[in-house]
């Protein structure tokens, strides 16, 4: 290696740093040593976990909290396959993420090297970009291509794997300029599409806005709020759309969603697919005119007819819609808003009893009744579980973008500790609260060792009802019995966290909860409050899965 040359891992790390990458999440693997050496030399912090799935979820969590590229490195063979669920989650969530894979050496390929397997065939269906580096001189160009693919709409995961001999070999540095990937600054939807949508909005008496994660990735939150204020339209959000309009904004609604979507005559569906969360479009009235607004066209057809489609950079598209739509039927819209506010207030008033429920084991709503009083406005709340987290999704409000993280439509449990690790590293001055079902704890509970080793002081709350609640209750309703739906009652997850270097407490009665939460927030170590909750309580839901 000459003075002008660098080994492949150093070239890789230097290019990552040029793209603004400051953290690499990983689990130690020999195929990655050159990458680690490069990151150490280039000042990229290595954050190691106890399972590759968590390293990959941490990379996705970083992107969710920061809207920047999250990066992980997974060693060859089982390292990459262990990360597949997180890669699939990022794909369905539209999360920009770069996965660096180790790979058996190219010069020995096909001879049975340790952990030799071709990752590309099973990663490619989940990733926007999936290639194998064939020479050290192409590494930096591949990094550029992967970053562009991950950050371009629709965002998603990109994957490069590096044969051992390639990434350890030297090459000259490519000094080509790194260009920022900022697609949200581009042109909006065409004028014809905007005018079709605006004509519908001008005549609407009951317009509504339903927004989701695509709004967040498209940096369109301010422009959507301005459009809502012009239209005087109620706004509902899901996914990473939560917080894109502050929960206390006069046009932000949550509890009245079912009624509002069914009564609306025109609906803007912004950055959210018509999937099971919106009953495949049936959440809206059958005669409502739907206006789909997103960065790019969807990769599947809409399950129902839509009246207008506006695809392009969201700030420009939403601004154009605002200019073209006018303020419409103001009196009718204000009357409708008033009726929705009454519904919202009534629903929240009915929740008060649950928030103060005195039973023990605790009602999940009582847990959140206490927690809500302790959360800062910019707290980052992460949900990882079924029934217990469903209550949180209903009760916990968000006021800023990137403050609510859940698994998304892929529904993969075990994402929470990785998300929490990344969130606290990205936003060290904020509260980071991880809400876990007791079932979800089993997927990645040992990552409290990771949190402790890296000094990451998050607060976790486990809703411990000793069952798989999301399955047990529906199965009993269907068949009169349930199988494979029970866990050991009163498992001491708090003691597991203590052994791993954190702070843990058990809560049996409501009066114990507030003091336990206060001690957890004050402790500074990763803390877990293990709350015994009533196994007979089920979150009320209607199945819209298929």
Each residue of 4-32: pLDDT tens digit?
A: 789 999 999 999 999 999 999 999 999 99
Instruction: State both tokens at 388.
Output: 């217990």
**One domain for residues 311 and 391:** no
**One domain for residues 36 and 131:** yes
* Residue 434: pLDDT over 80: yes
In a domain, 539, yes or no: no
Domain of 396, in residue numbers: 356-532
The per-residue pLDDT for 327 is: 72
User: Directed axis angle between helix 8-18 and helix 33-42, to 10°?
Assistant: 50
- DSSP 3-state of 320: helix
pLDDT in tens, 274-317: 999 999 999 999 999 999 999 999 888 999 999 999 999 999 99
Domain boundary among 344, 364, 397: 344
Q: HEC string of 254-298?
A: CCCHHHHHHHCCEEEEECCCCCHHHHHHCCCCCCCEEEEEECCCC
The count of domains in the chain is: 3
pLDDT in tens, 245-258: 999 999 999 999 99
pLDDT in tens, 113-127: 889 899 999 999 999
**One domain for residues 297 and 393:** no
Domain boundary among 284, 319, 344: 344
Number of H-type helices and E-type strands within the chain: 22, 19
* Residue 259: pLDDT over 50: yes
HSE value, Cβ hemisphere, 13 Å, CA-based, for 38: 27
The per-residue pLDDT for 326 is: 79
* Residue 1: pLDDT over 60: no
Q: Are 479 and 503 in contact (CB under 8 A)?
A: no
Q: Of residues 161 and 546, which shows the higher confidence score?
A: 161
- DSSP 3-state of 397: coil
Grade residue 2 by pLDDT with cuts at 50, 70 and 90: low
Grade residue 513 by pLDDT with cuts at 50, 70 and 90: very high
The per-residue pLDDT for 54 is: 98
The per-residue pLDDT for 233 is: 96
Q: What CA–CA distance (Å, rounded) separates 116 from 102?
A: 10
Domain boundary among 295, 319, 344: 344
Q: What φ, ψ does residue 153 adopt, rounded to 5°?
A: -65, 145
**One domain for residues 224 and 204:** yes
pLDDT (mean) for 176-186? 89
The per-residue pLDDT for 543 is: 47
Grade residue 177 by pLDDT with cuts at 50, 70 and 90: confident
The per-residue pLDDT for 175 is: 84
In a domain, 43, yes or no: yes
The per-residue pLDDT for 3 is: 58
Grade residue 227 by pLDDT with cuts at 50, 70 and 90: very high
In a domain, 544, yes or no: no
C-alpha angle 102/106/112, rounded to 5°? Answer: 85
Grade residue 545 by pLDDT with cuts at 50, 70 and 90: very low
């Amino acid at each position: 290696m000459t003075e002008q040359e660098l080994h492949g891992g150093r070239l890789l790390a230097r290019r990552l740093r040029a793209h603004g990458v400051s953290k690499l999440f990983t689990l130690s693997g020999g195929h990655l040593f050159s990458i680690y050496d490069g990151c150490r030399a280039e000042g990229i912090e290595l954050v190691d976990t106890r399972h590759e799935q968590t390293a990959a979820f941490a990379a996705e969590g970083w992107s969710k909290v920061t809207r920047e590229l999250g990066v992980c490195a997974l060693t060859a063979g089982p390292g990459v396959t262990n990360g597949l669920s997180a890669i699939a989650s990022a794909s369905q969530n539209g999360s920009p993420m770069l996965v660096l894979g180790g790979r058996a050496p190219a010069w020995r390929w096909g001879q049975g090297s340790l952990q030799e397997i071709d990752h590309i065939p099973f990663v490619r269906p989940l990733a926007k970009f999936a290639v194998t580096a064939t020479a050290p001189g192409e590494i930096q160009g591949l990094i550029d291509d992967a970053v562009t693919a991950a950050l371009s709409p629709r965002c998603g995961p990109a994957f490069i794997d590096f044969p051992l001999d390639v990434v350890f070999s030297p090459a000259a540095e490519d000094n080509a300029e790194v260009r920022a990937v900022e697609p949200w600054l581009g042109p909006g939807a065409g004028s014809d599409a905007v005018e079709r949508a605006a004509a519908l909005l001008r005549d609407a008496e009951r317009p509504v806005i339903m927004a989701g994660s695509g709004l967040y990735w498209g940096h369109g939150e301010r422009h959507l709020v301005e459009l809502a204020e012009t239209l005087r339209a109620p706004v509902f959000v899901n996914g990473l759309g939560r917080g894109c309009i502050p929960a206390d904004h006069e046009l932000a609604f949550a509890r009245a969603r079912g009624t509002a979507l069914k009564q609306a005559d025109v609906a803007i569906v912004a950055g959210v697919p018509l999937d099971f969360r919106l009953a495949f479009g049936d959440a809206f009235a059958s005669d409502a005119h739907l206006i789909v607004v997103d960065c790019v066209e969807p990769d599947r057809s809409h399950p129902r007819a839509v009246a207008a489609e506006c695809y392009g950079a969201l700030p420009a598209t939403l601004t154009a819609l605002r200019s073209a739509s006018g303020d419409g039927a103001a009196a009718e819209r204000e009357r409708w808003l008033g009726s929705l506010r009454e519904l919202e207030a009534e629903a929240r008033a009915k929740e008060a009893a649950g928030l103060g429920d005195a039973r023990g084991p605790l009602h999940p709503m009582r847990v959140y009744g206490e927690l809500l009083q302790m959360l800062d406005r910019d707290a980052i709340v992460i949900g990882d579980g079924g029934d217990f987290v469903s209550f949180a999704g209903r009760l916990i409000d968000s006021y800023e973008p990137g403050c609510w993280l859940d698994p998304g439509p892929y529904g993969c449990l075990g994402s929470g500790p990785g998300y929490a690790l990344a969130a606290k590293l990205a936003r060290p001055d904020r509260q980071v609260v991880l809400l876990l079902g007791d079932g979800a704890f089993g997927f990645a509970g040992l990552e409290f060792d990771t949190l402790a080793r890296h000094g990451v002081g998050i607060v976790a709350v486990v809703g411990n009802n000793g069952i798989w609640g999301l399955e047990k209750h529906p199965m009993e309703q269907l068949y009169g019995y349930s199988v494979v739906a029970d866990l050991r009652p009163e498992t001491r997850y708090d003691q597991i966290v203590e052994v791993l270097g954190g702070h843990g407490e058990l809560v049996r009665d409501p009066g114990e909860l507030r003091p336990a939460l206060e001690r957890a927030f004050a402790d500074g170590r990763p803390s877990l409050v293990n709350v015994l909750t009533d196994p007979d309580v089920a979150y009320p839901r209607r199945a819209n899965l298929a």
